[in-house]
Structure 1
């Protein structure tokens, strides 16, 4: 089982890297959308919370290369490959949690002109409830140490994700 999973993930990483331009998933929250088909236009059938274990059935080549067919509890569907990371047990994968890339300012509003209410250290896990795109930036609403505010989405990444965002 572990060998099959590793082989699937290795094959998926090769097919992901072979594309000239990868369509990365939009960062909407720390949960991953489980979709009925391999693409962002397919309906969402469930949300998988960060750090939840999923069973990988297959990560497809070709036009499906950015998506993995998975089972989460009783549902089967597709998730963006960039949202997955190895579980600590090494025998399964999880939805990778969102962490800060660098020192990140938590602000009272979505923009650099808003007051800083906290400074978040690098590699700190945050809970993201949603992101919106502005003219130049993407701002995400997060909770950190009991405070709600906004961070620049460029400072967030999925910890341990198998495929970089």
Structure 2
């Protein structure tokens, strides 16, 4: 799987991705950072800018396109690494979406694993990831990656579950005396 920021030449492939979701009666697109609400060129600029310049509300983020080994756009991945804590608790640090015909093939797990590695590189100690309660596949993906359910709230007439994933191993010091070392 390959990940990269969107470019202008990705427009037609992204439009096919969006159309597939709409044809599947899905009204919202995960991790697309307001793409359907903006002019495409403006959106690409915003995505590139947000990697270096903090958005006044959302902070810095990466929005990656995720491609299969066959170079098909299979999903979007958003890593919101600089967002205010109150928004992180409501929306999560990581969001991902997989196009309908590519689901149940392990892509979401690969995307989340990549995002967790990126968050570790950025020095984050833990992240929050959310999904709608009815999205059993996403919940399984999150728990397989170490997610621990921390809360459940109603968002936009749906129930959302939120999971915390620790990124730093916890080490405990054990005090040994010299006699224990000699045994």
Alignment TM-score, normalising by the size of structure 2: 0.23
Whose relative contact order is higher, 1 or 2, with alpha carbons under 8 Å and at least 6 apart?
1
Alignment TM-score, normalising by the size of structure 1: 0.24
Identify, as 1 or 2, the structure richer in strand. Answer: 1
Which structure has the bigger radius of gyration?
2
